[in-house]
Amino acid sequence: MSNINRRNFIGSTAKGTIALTVGAIGISSFLESCTGSKKMAAPPAYSTGYDQQPLPYAYNALENVIDAMTMEIHYTKHAAAYSKALKEAVQAEGVAAGTNVETILANISKYSTKMRNNAGGHYNHEMFWQSMRPKTNDNKPSGALLAAIEKSFSSFASFKTKFNAAATGRFGSGWAWLYVDAADKTLKIGSTPNQDNPLMNVSDIKGFPLLGLDVWEHAYYLKYQNKRADYADNWWNVVNWAYVEKRFAAV
| SS3 readout for 13-70 | CCCCCEEEECCCCCCHHHHHCCCECCECCCCCCCCCCCCCCCCCCCCCCCCCCCCHHH
pLDDT tens string 199-212:
999 999 999 999 99
pLDDT band, residue 7 (cuts 50/70/90): very low
Q: Domain of 171: which CATH number?
A: 3.55.40.20
In a domain, 92, yes or no: yes
In a domain, 136, yes or no: yes
Category of 203 on φ-ψ map: left (φ > 0), alpha (ψ -120 to 50) or beta: beta
% residues pLDDT > 90 (the chain): 74
Q: How far apart are CA 133 and CA 61, in angstroms?
A: 8
3-state SS assignment for residue 248: helix
Domain count, the chain: 1
In a domain, 160, yes or no: yes
Burial of 184 (0-12, 13-18, 19+ CB in 10 A): middle
pLDDT tens string 133-145:
999 888 999 999 9
Q: How far apart are CA 100 and CA 84, in angstroms?
A: 15
pLDDT of residue 138: 87
In a domain, 247, yes or no: yes
Q: Which of 156, 181, 164 is nearest to 40 (CA)?
A: 181
Q: Which of 39, 41, 175 is nearest to 102 (CA)?
A: 41
In a domain, 27, yes or no: yes
**What DSSP string runs through 83-112?**
HHHHHHHHHHTTPPTT--HHHHHHTGGGS-
Q: What predicted TM-score, i.e. pTM, was given to this entire model?
A: 0.84
pLDDT of residue 148: 86
pLDDT tens string 138-165:
899 999 999 988 877 889 999 999 999 9
In a domain, 56, yes or no: no
Q: How far apart are CA 29 and CA 217, in angstroms?
A: 37
pLDDT of residue 137: 82
pLDDT tens string 85-98:
999 999 999 999 99
In a domain, 235, yes or no: yes
For residue 133, the enclosing domain spans: 16-34+65-251
Phi then psi for residue 188, to 5 deg, are: -140, 160
